[in-house]
Amino acid sequence: MIPSNPPIPSTPRAGVLIDGKAFVWSERLDDASLAKKRLAQKVQTAISAGILAAAFLFFLWFGWGMYLYVIPSGMTAFVRAVFRPSFVGLSFSLFVLSSSFVFQRMCEVTRKKVEMPVISHGEAVPGVVSTIPEGERVNVADLFHADAMKTVEDAYKLASSFGHASIQPLHLFISSLSHGDVPVVFGRLGLRFDAVSDALNRRLLSVPTGPGPTFSEEAEQTLIAAFQNAVVRDRSSVSPIELFYEAYRRDPFVQELLYDVKVDEARLSNVVEWIRITDALRERYDRYRRAAAFKPTGPMNRSMTAIQTPALDSVSEDLTTAAVGGRLPMLIGRDAEMEELLRVIEGGGRSVLLVGPEGVGKTALISGLAERMVREDVPKMLQDRRLVSVVLSAVISGVDASEAQQRLIGVLNDSGRSGNVVLVMQNIEQLVETGSELASLLVDALTRRMAFVIATTTPEAYAQTVERSPISRVFEVVNVPEPDTTEAIRIVESKVGAIEYDQNVIFTYDAVERSVVLSDRYVHASYLPKKAIGVCKEAALVAFKARGENAIVTGDDVETVLAAKTGIPMTQVSTDEKDKLLTLESTIHARVIGQEEAVKAVASALRRARTELRAQNRPISTFLFLGPSGVGKTALAKAVAASYFGGENAMLRFDMSEYQDQASVYRLIGAPGGDAGLMTEAVRRNPFSLILLDEFEKAHPNILNLFLQVFDEGRLTDSAGRVVDFTNAIIIVTSNAGSAYIQKAVSEGVPADQMKTRLIEEELHGTYRPELLNRFDGIIVFHPLTPDDVQQITYLMIAQVAERLEAKGIMFRATDEAVAELSTKGYDPKFGARPLRRIIQEEVDNAIATALLEGRVNRRDTIVLHHGGKIEIEKGAAL
Amino acid sequence: MVLRLVLTELFDGIVSLPAWWYTRGLAIMTAWFRTFVRDASERFSLGVWVRNLFVPMYGDTEWSGRAISFGVRFAMIFVRGSAVAVWSSAAFVGLAVYVLALPMAILGLLYHAVGLIVF
C-alpha cells in the first residue's frame, strides 16, 4: 500500500478527547501532498484494475485448458493436471494468487483505518477543546468520508485560487455546497445557489491574501466540530453535511447571509436533521428487514409453546405480523416515552395505559414497540411474543352485554392459554362505558396475570371514565404528551417521504415547518403531529393539482390549506392587502363618523395582528368602548367586522344584559353534560372573528371573572373540557357605564386624558374590578356626537337607502336641506344618533314605500327628497 | 515517479500478502464464519428449541402431551442441530479453503511453473 502523507508536525489547535484519545486534524494539505495523493489514488486504481483483469484472464486460461484437455479425458486427466506440471495447474494457481490480491485490496479499500468512537447512551457529549494534552492522538481525517475529504481539498483549492493566506470556515462552507447531501439541504430550503453566490463571491474577495494557504484556527475547529457532530449522532463517518453545518455555525457572515434569505440556525438544523432522518430510516429499515426474517408471522411462536387463538383472532389484528410485513410506520422520536414504557414493563410486569390526546402518537408508539418486538430488542417478558391489537368495537358492538362478555372472556382465555400474546386495547374507555362487567372481567384477568395489556386513552376519557373505574388500579399510566414543535417537525419530516412518493411532489422545509407551526397555532381541535401531517397531505394534493408532477410544495400551499380550513388569513400580506391595511382608518370612517381615537386604536391593532407583531397567546386585541348610547360603539365593531373579517356575519354578538344571573354562565360556556355553550361553540367554529360583548356592565360578576382568563390567556375551557381558542379574535366590549360623567365632562371641556383617568379610577370603580380593566388593551372613550357628526351620519344613512333602492333600479338622493332637517330631528343629546334611524324610517322610507305602492315610481326614475319630507320623482329616459 | 510508485505498490503488495492473509484477512474470514454460524443457528431456532426442551408444545400440559412434546422437541433439536451442523460445516470448509488457498497457490505456481520450464 502507498503510505499516506506524513502528518503535520505542528501542534493541533483544536481537538476532542474521547476515551483518553485526542482526536485532532493532522492531515497535510498542500499542493505537493494533494498531487501525490491524487497520483497514488490513480496508481492504486490502475493496479487494482490490472490485477482484476489478470485474475479474469487466468480464469479464462484455466477454463480453456479444462475444456480442451481435462474435461474430454475425465478424472485421470484432472489428477494428472493437478499432480504433474501442467498449464492447467499453472493457470489455476495464478488465478487463485491473483484473486487473493484482489481480495486483499478490496478488504483494504473498505477497511477503516480508525473506528469511529462510540458515545454510550447517557454519556456526556465531549466538547471541542483548544488545548490538547500529550498522549495518543488520532487523525480525524481518517474518519472523513471520501466526499468530506473532497470538500476539505476543494476548500484548500478555493483558498489557493484566490491567493488567500488561510483556509477559513467560509471556504469549507462554499466547497461543501456541491458535495454529498448538501445540495439537498438547499433544495429543501427552497434556495438557489444564485441567491447567495454574489454575496459569497464578494466575501471571498475581501479575505486577506498571502502565502499559503494554511488552516485557520476557526477552520480547524470546524473540522473537529464536524467530527464531534458525527460522533454525537452515531454516524459511521464524517460527511459533507456536518462540515456544511459547522462551517455555517462558525462564520457570522454566512449566518447573516442565510438569515437574509430567511434561514436561521433552527431552520438549518431541522433541515440537516431531515436529511439524517431519511438516512437513518433507510439504515434502520435495512437492519430491520434482516431481523424480521427470523420473526414468525402466525399465531405460533418460535418455541411452539403457543396454541391457536380463534376467539382472539376473530376480533384482532396481529401487529407483529403487520410489522414483519412492513405495514406499520416507523417510530421517530418518543425515546423518553418508549424508555418509560419498557421500564414499566420490565419493572413490575403491570399492564400499561398510554394516556395522551388523540393524534399525538400513541399508535405510533405501539407500532414502535411491535417493531422492537420483531427485532427482539425488548425486555425478556416481551421476547418471542406477538403484539395483538384487539378491536374493542368488534368485541362490544352489535351484541348484548352477555355476548360481549363472552367475546371478551374468549379473548382473555386465548391470550392466557397461548402465553405468547401481548394485547393492545386502543381507547379502553369504550370498555368501561359499555358496562362495568366488562371492566371487571378485564381487571380480574389482569390481576391474575392471565393477560398483559397495553391500552390507550385520552386525558379527557381518562379523567371522566377510566380513572373512576376499577381498571385504573391494574394499569400503570405512561403519559404521551403532545410533542413540541421541534420534535413534531422531525416527525413530520420522517413522514413527508411517503407523502412525496404518493403524490409525486417535493416538499420544501418551509412547507413542513409551517404545517407544524401554523397548525399548532390555529388548529386547536386536534394535536401535533397528526394535524400537521394531515395538512401536509392536503398541501401536497393542492400543489399536485395546481402544478402537476414534481411540483414543489411550499409554505404558501400549506397556508392556503390552513386558511381554507380555519378561515384565518395567514398568507403573506399581499400588495392589495397592504394598501387595505394602511388605509384601514379611511375604510372604517366610510361607515363610522368621528371617534378618531377609537378608529385609530382598532386599525393599529389589526395591523399589528396581520404583521404578526402581536403576542400570540392572547386575543388579537381587547377593547373596552365607553360612551353614551348611539355614539357609534356598535357601528365601529360592525365596520371592523366588515372591513377586516370579511363581513358583518363574522361578528359574534352577545348582548350581556341577557346574562344577568349566575346560572347564565352555562349558556355561554355550556352546562356539564348538557348543550354546548353559545359563545364557546361559536368561537370554536369561527376562531377568526370579532366578538362583541354589548352592555358588558349588565352581566353577572361571575361572568366578568370568566373573561379575565379569556383576555389574559386567550383561551377558555368549555363544559366538555375542550379548550376554546380566542387568540385569533378581536374582543370588543361596549359599556354605558360612566356615560353621564362622559357627557358632563365633554360639555365642560375636560381634556381626554383627564377624563379617561377619572373614568378608570372613579366612575368605573363600582362596575368593573381593576384587574379586569387592566386586561384591556385599550379603554376608549366615545365622545358624544356633535350636530356636524350627526349630519355626516345622516348622509351615510341616506346613502344606505339609495343602495337599497339601487337594487330595484331606482335612483335616490336627498338635498342638503333635507339632510340637515333630518339630522336636526334625529339628534338627541341623550341617545346620540340612535333616533336618526327611526326618523329616516318614518320620513324617508315611508314616503318612498307609498310612492312605490301608488305606482308613481318606475325603474330608472330618480327619487329626490326635499326639505319637509317632500318627494319628487324625476322620470328616467324612455328606452 | 509513476513507475516507482507502481513498483513500490506491487512489491509491497506481494511482500505483505502472506502476512496480511494470516492476520487481518484471517480475522475478517473468522468474523464472517462466526456470523454465518450464528445466523444459521438463529434461522433454525436451535437455541429456542434447546431452551424449551421440557416445555410442552401447543400449551398441552398433560403428561401425555409433555411426553410427546419432549419426543418431538428432541427429534427437532436433532434435525435442526444437523441442519446447523451442515450449514456450519459448509462455512468451515470455506474458512479452511481460505487458510489453505494462499500456500497452495504459491506452491502450485512454483511446482507447475518450474516443472513446465524444467521438463
**Burial track A488-522 (b if 16+ CB lie within 10 A, e otherwise):** bbbbbbbbbeebbeebebbbbbbbbbbbbbbbbbb
Contact B24 A101 (CB under 8 A): no
Q: Which of A506, A486, A485 has the alpha carbon at shortest distance from A497?
A: A506
C-alpha A93/C-alpha B111 separation (Å) is: 10
Place of cell 340612535: A834
Which among A100, A307, A384 is the nearest to B102, CB-wise?
A100
**pTM of the predicted model, to two decimals?**
0.72
Out of B28, B55, B104, name the one closest to residue A305 (CB).
B55
Q: Are strands A351-355 and A453-457 parallel, antiparallel or unpaired?
A: parallel
What pLDDT sits at residue A535? 94
A97 touches chain B (CB under 8 A): yes
What pLDDT does residue A2 have?
A: 42
On whether any CB of chain B is under 8 Å from the CB of A89, the answer is yes
ipTM: 0.87
Contact A244, A148 (CB under 8 A): no
Q: Domains of chain A (ranges plus CATH)?
A: 1-139 (no CATH), 144-280 (1.10.1780.10), 295-479 (3.40.50.300), 485-564 (1.10.8.60), 575-781 (3.40.50.300), 787-874 (1.10.8.60)
**Which range, of A74-83, A138-147, A267-276, A659-668, averages the lowest pLDDT?**
A74-83
* CB atoms A39 and B21 under 8 Å: no
User: In whole angstroms, what is the distance from residue A780 CA to residue A759 CA?
Assistant: 11
Mean pLDDT along residues A339-348: 84
The three grid cell numbers given for residue A682, joined into one nine-digit string: 361559536
Contact B116, A85 (CB under 8 A): yes
Q: What is the pLDDT at residue A577?
A: 67
Q: Cis before residue A619, ω within 30 degrees of 0? A: no
State whether residue A94 sits within 8 Å of chain B by CB.
yes
- Reply yes or no on whether the pLDDT at A93 is more than 90: yes
| pLDDT at A3 (0 to 100) | 45
Name the β-bridge partners of A676. A670
Q: How far apart are the first and last CA of chain A?
A: 104
Give residue-wise pLDDT tens across range A5-46: 444 546 788 899 888 889 999 888 888 888 888 888 888 889
User: Mean pLDDT throughout A680-703?
Assistant: 87
State which amino acid sits at residue A360: V
Nine cell digits for residue A784 = 358624544
What is the reported pLDDT for B32? 93
Cα separations in angstroms, A430 against A402, A434, A455, B11: 16, 6, 11, 78
The pLDDT value recorded for residue A299 is 67
Check CB contact under 8 Å for A47 and B6.
Answer: yes
Give the CA distances from residue B105 to residues A1, A81, A358, B18, B112, in Å, rounded to whole numbers and listed in that order. Answer: 22, 14, 68, 11, 10
Listed in sequence order, the residues at least 6 apart from A747 whose beta carbon sits closer than 8 Å to its beta carbon are: none
Task: Flag whether pLDDT at A521 surpasses 60.
Answer: yes
Determine the Cα–Cα distance for residues A130 and A217; give it in Å rounded to an integer: 9
Distances (CA, A) of A555 to A159, A515, A727: 37, 8, 22
User: Which pLDDT value is given to residue A585?
Assistant: 87
Q: What is the DSSP string of A110-156?
A: H--SSPPP-PPTTPPPPPEESSPPSS-EEEGGGGB-HHHHHHHHHHH
A145 against A672, higher pLDDT? A145
pLDDT value of position A293: 73
CB within 8 Å of chain A, chain B residues 85-114? 101-102, 104-109, 111-114
Q: Write out chain A residues lying below 8 Å of B45, CB-based.
A: 294, 302-303
**Given this model, what pLDDT does residue B109 score?**
92
A105 CB within 8 Å of a chain B CB: yes
Residue A9 confidence (pLDDT): 47
Instruction: Give per-residue burial for B25-58: e unless 16+ CB within 10 Å, then b.
Output: beebbeeebeebbebbbbebbbebbeebeebbbb
pLDDT category of residue A617 using cuts at 50, 70 and 90? confident
Q: What is the pLDDT of residue A10?
A: 62
Structural contact between residues A138 and A21, judged by C-beta atoms closer than 8 angstroms: yes
Q: Which of B5, B24, B51 sits opposite A43 (nearest CB)?
A: B5
C-alpha cell at A74: 475425465
Q: What is the arithmetic mean of pLDDT over A359-380?
A: 89
Q: Which DSSP category does A483 fall into?
A: P
Mean pLDDT per segment of 10 residues, for chain B of length 119 residues? 75 84 94 90 81 76 83 88 92 94 93 87
Chain A nearest-CA residue for B61: A305
Specify the pLDDT at position B92: 94
Which one of A58, A100, A107 makes the best mutation probe of the B interface by having the most chain B beta carbons within 10 Å?
A100
Beta bridge partners of A874: A862
Mean pLDDT of chain A: 86
Residue A743 in this model has a pLDDT that exceeds 80: no
Residue A683: pLDDT band (50, 70, 90) is confident
pLDDT tens digits along A384-410: 888 999 998 888 887 787 888 888 898
The 10 Å Cβ neighbour count of residue A440 is: 14
Q: What mean pLDDT comes out for the span A763-776? A: 84
Mean pLDDT of A220-241: 90
C-alpha cell recorded at residue A689:
372573528
Residue B16 CA from chain centroid, whole number? 25
pLDDT surpassing 80 at residue A259: yes
CA distance A854 to A874: 15
Q: What is the DSSP letter of A875?
A: P
User: What is the C-alpha end-to-end distance of chain B, expressed in Å?
Assistant: 40
Can you tell me the distance from the alpha carbon of A678 to that of A667, in angstroms, rounded to the nearest whole number? 6
A299-308, A465-474, A605-614, A779-788: range with lowest mean pLDDT? A299-308
- Joined together, the cell numbers standing for residue A297 give 408471522
- Residue of chain A whose alpha carbon sits nearest to that of B39: A294
Residue A828 forms beta bridges with which residues? A832
DSSP assignments along A688-745, one per residue = SSEEEEETGGGS-HHHHHHHHHHHHHSEEE-TTSPEEE-TT-EEEEEE-TTHHHHHHH
Nearest CA-CA partner of A848 in A801, A791, A799: A801
Three cell numbers, residue B99: 487458510
Cα(A457)–Cα(A362) distance, integer angstroms: 9
pLDDT at position A245 = 95
Q: Using the predicted structure, report yes or no on whether residue A601 has a pLDDT greater than 70.
A: yes
Nearest to B109 among A2, A90, A417 (CB): A90
- For range A705-712, the mean pLDDT: 88
| Percent of chain A residues past pLDDT 70, beyond the cut | 95
pLDDT bin (cut points 50, 70, 90) of residue A572 is low
